[in-house]
Amino acid sequence: MRDLNPVDNYLHGSWEALGNGAPMLVALAQLCSENWVRQPPPFNASQLQDLELMREQIGHLMPEARAILYAARQRGIIEIRAVNSAFDAAARLLAVYVEVSEEQTIAFRDPTKPAVTVRFLDGFRNLCTHGLVIHHIYGDFSLAPRALQLAEHLERDEVEELLQMATEFGLHD
């Protein structure tokens, strides 16, 4: 386009940012950063062995947050992204992607049931609120060290039903 004034350029950049989910990503990044930095001091050695304390902390998380925590327990890598090219609006929503292994990732999204996608995005927000997620760049996040410790105390049967809602595909699909 030609003959754009500075306001048009600004709006174009803002529109591009909106199309990539930037406002939500910035909000989640800020929530993660603030809560991770302001959380209580790390566990001491005796607290790390206190299974009851760990179970209590896990109990404060939403079920969807626990499912994300369980799914990310091996690699700790989480990405928040949208599928901009999808035809249906529900399929374009921001969603939680978890690297289960080096070769496999799962997406907590359901284009036919957008409420599922939103529930897991809220579960991710819940992890951020508890200081269990670290933001790195763009839509890339990881579990915090304390989250990895908590994930070790989750059993698959506790989150199995929610894990069934995820879509599996290869890491580079």
Interatomic CA distance for residues 144 and 72, integer angstroms: 11
Task: Give me the sheet containing 133-137, strands edge to edge.
Answer: 133-137, 140-143, 77-81, 95-99, 104-108, 167-170
Does a structural domain hold residue 33?
yes
CB 32, CB 133: distance < 8 Å: yes
Does a structural domain hold residue 26?
yes
Q: How confident is the model at residue 144 (pLDDT cuts 50, 70, 90)?
A: very high
State the average pLDDT for the chain: 83
Question: Would the pLDDT of 46 be above 90?
Answer: no
Does a structural domain hold residue 14?
yes
Does a structural domain hold residue 1?
no
Provide the strand spans (E) within the chain: 77-81, 95-99, 104-108, 133-137, 140-143, 167-170
Q: Which domain holds residue 80?
A: 6-170
Interatomic CA distance for residues 170 and 79, integer angstroms: 14
**Domains in the chain: how many in total?**
1
Residue 159's identity, in one-letter code, is: V
Note the pTM of the prediction, 2 decimals: 0.84
Query: pLDDT digits over 6-34, tens only?
Result: 444 554 557 676 667 778 888 899 988 99
User: What Cα–Cα distance (Å) separates residue 113 from each residue in 70, 83, 151, 172?
Assistant: 22, 15, 27, 24
Does a structural domain hold residue 104?
yes
What pLDDT is attached to residue 95? Answer: 94
What pLDDT is attached to residue 57? Answer: 80
Q: Which residues contact 37 (CB under 8 A, 6 or more apart)?
A: none
Question: Would the pLDDT of 117 be above 90?
Answer: yes
